[in-house]
């Protein structure tokens, strides 16, 4: 197997490379990202801009991968809101460029596209677990562009594209950017413990409930799909990756504060309140369990502690 990964220099990429090596053994991994360079876990990363069709076609033609895993994208919804044109270019045109290049020069290659559980949007309002048949009703630029790519790739299966469309829900772990809620809380706590900030943590909506997974569980699903593409048969298969467990943001914060070495007060910050927040977003991943034999294997509590310790390690040289 030859697996080309786009957007490999982001949070998920190094975890994915490790998962692929664990699951698939001796395989060729071709890591690509927006910029070339050496990575301590990935080795040499080749430059590939997914919005450049000619560059994408050249890379697919040169490497002739058996699988392409598309991680390229804006990491956080706020980034898509701030840069909608870039979100459309990367999430939609980037995915289409990969698909068309595969169809043109490597038609036996599988495209595993990483979308988002946020494509369901308003369908989450009843608060019930969302499976893959739920209506796509995104509420922001991030969800809209992920949904558009998802639908476009689905249509291309009629032209012979071999694809699996993943819809992962919230995932977290050490190394994630502070634009996400759990590392944002953890970094504030680490800074307060180090005496770099006042003992007050600034928060947004604490009542929302979200479906959180360890990033290692998420990439394990991708790796299992690579192993089983020939068995899956169904081109265009859609798979949620979710825990099925709703967790209130305020309860997650309380768990982190319980591990703090100092007393910390909580203060709501209007700047962190999102008007489009849905009360509960939770996924149903039964199809991934059946198709891949996948299930989450990492403890939420352990991962939460690991994120806090990772933030402490980042702060320690400054303290």
Phi, then psi, of 195 in degrees rounded to 5? 75, 20
Whether residue 136 sits in one domain with residue 198: no
- pLDDT for 198 equals 95
Give the mean pLDDT of the chain: 94
In DSSP terms, 167 is beta-bridged to 240
Place of tokens 């943590």: 201
- Give the pLDDT mean for 78-103: 96
Query: Other C-beta atoms within 10 Å of 18: how many?
Result: 16
* C-alpha torsion 128→134→139→141, nearest 10: 130
d(CA 13, CA 20): 11
- pLDDT band, residue 278 (cuts 50/70/90): confident
Q: What secondary structure letter does DSSP report for 136?
A: P
Q: How crowded is the C-beta side of 45, counted as CA atoms within 13 Å? A: 23
Whether residue 224 sits in one domain with residue 128: yes
Indicate the range of 1-10, 32-41, 44-53 predicted with least confidence: 32-41
- pLDDT for 70 equals 98
Indicate the range of 171-185, 219-233, 273-287 predicted with least confidence: 273-287
How many domains does the chain divide into?
A: 2
Whether residue 64 sits in one domain with residue 101: yes
Whether residue 225 sits in one domain with residue 314: no
Q: How crowded is the C-beta side of 301, counted as CA atoms within 13 Å? A: 3
Whether residue 263 sits in one domain with residue 151: no
Nearest-5° Cα angle at 256, 253 to 261: 130
CATH number of the domain that residue 37 is part of: 3.40.50.720
- Give the pLDDT mean for 222-228: 95
- pLDDT for 37 equals 83
| Residue 310 belongs to a domain | yes
Long-range contacts of 230-234 (CB under 8 A, 24+ apart): 232/164, 232/291
**What 3-state class would DSSP assign to 109?**
coil
Q: β-strands 37-39, 43-47: how paired?
A: antiparallel
| Residue 291 belongs to a domain | no
Measured CA to CA in angstroms, residue 212 lies from 124, 132, 169, 173, 218 at distances of: 15, 18, 7, 10, 10
- pLDDT for 202 equals 85
- pLDDT for 232 equals 80
Contact between 98 and 70 under an 8 Å Cβ cutoff? The reply is yes
- pLDDT for 24 equals 87
| Residue 202 belongs to a domain | yes
CATH number of the domain that residue 302 is part of: 3.90.25.10
Whether residue 167 sits in one domain with residue 190: no
**What 3-state class would DSSP assign to 131?**
coil
- pLDDT band, residue 105 (cuts 50/70/90): very high
Give the N- to C-terminal CA distance of the chain in Å, as an integer: 46
**What 3-state class would DSSP assign to 53?**
helix
Domain range for 203: 181-209+245-282+298-318
- Give the pLDDT mean for 169-178: 96
- pLDDT band, residue 275 (cuts 50/70/90): low
Contact between 77 and 180 under an 8 Å Cβ cutoff? The reply is no
The structure's pTM equals 0.95
- pLDDT for 75 equals 86
Query: Other C-beta atoms within 10 Å of 209: how many?
Result: 20
Q: Is the pLDDT of residue 319 over 60?
A: no
- pLDDT band, residue 274 (cuts 50/70/90): low
| Residue 293 belongs to a domain | no
- Give the pLDDT mean for 161-176: 97
| Residue 303 belongs to a domain | yes
Whether residue 270 sits in one domain with residue 203: yes
| Residue 250 belongs to a domain | yes
Q: Is the pLDDT of residue 272 over 80?
A: no
């Amino acid at each position: 197997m030859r697996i080309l990964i786009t957007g490999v220099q982001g949070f998920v990429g190094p975890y994915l490379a490790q998962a692929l090596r664990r699951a698939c053994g001796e395989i060729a991994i071709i890591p690509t990202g927006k910029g070339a360079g050496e990575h301590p876990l990935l080795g040499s990363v080749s430059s590939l801009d997914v919005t450049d069709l000619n560059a994408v076609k050249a890379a697919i033609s040169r490497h002739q991968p058996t699988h392409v895993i598309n991680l390229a994208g804006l990491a956080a919804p706020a980034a898509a809101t701030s840069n909608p044109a870039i979100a459309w270019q990367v999430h939609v045109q980037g995915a289409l460029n990969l698909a068309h290049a595969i169809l043109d020069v490597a038609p036996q290659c599988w495209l595993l596209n990483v979308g988002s559980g946020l494509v369901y949007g308003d369908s989450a309002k009843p608060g019930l677990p969302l499976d893959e048949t739920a209506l796509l009703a995104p509420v922001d630029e991030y969800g809209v562009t992920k949904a558009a790519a998802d639908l476009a790739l689905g249509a291309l299966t009629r032209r012979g594209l071999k694809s699996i469309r993943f819809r992962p829900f919230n995932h977290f772990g050490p190394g994630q950017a502070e634009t996400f809620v759990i590392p944002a809380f953890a970094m504030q706590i680490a800074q307060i413990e180090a005496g770099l900030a006042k003992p007050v943590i600034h928060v947004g909506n604490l009542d929302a409930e979200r479906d959180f997974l360890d990033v290692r569980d998420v990439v394990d699903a991708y790796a299992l799909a690579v192993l089983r593409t020939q068995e899956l048969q169904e081109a265009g298969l859609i798979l949620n990756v979710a825990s099925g467990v709703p967790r209130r943001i305020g309860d997650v914060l309380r768990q982190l504060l319980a591990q703090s070495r100092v007393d910390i007060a909580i203060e709501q910050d209007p700047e962190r309140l999102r008007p489009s927040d849905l009360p509960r977003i939770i996924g149903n991943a039964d199809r991934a369990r059946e198709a891949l034999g996948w299930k989450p294997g990492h403890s939420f509590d352990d991962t939460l502690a690991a994120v806090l310790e990772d933030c402490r390690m980042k702060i320690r040289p400054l303290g």
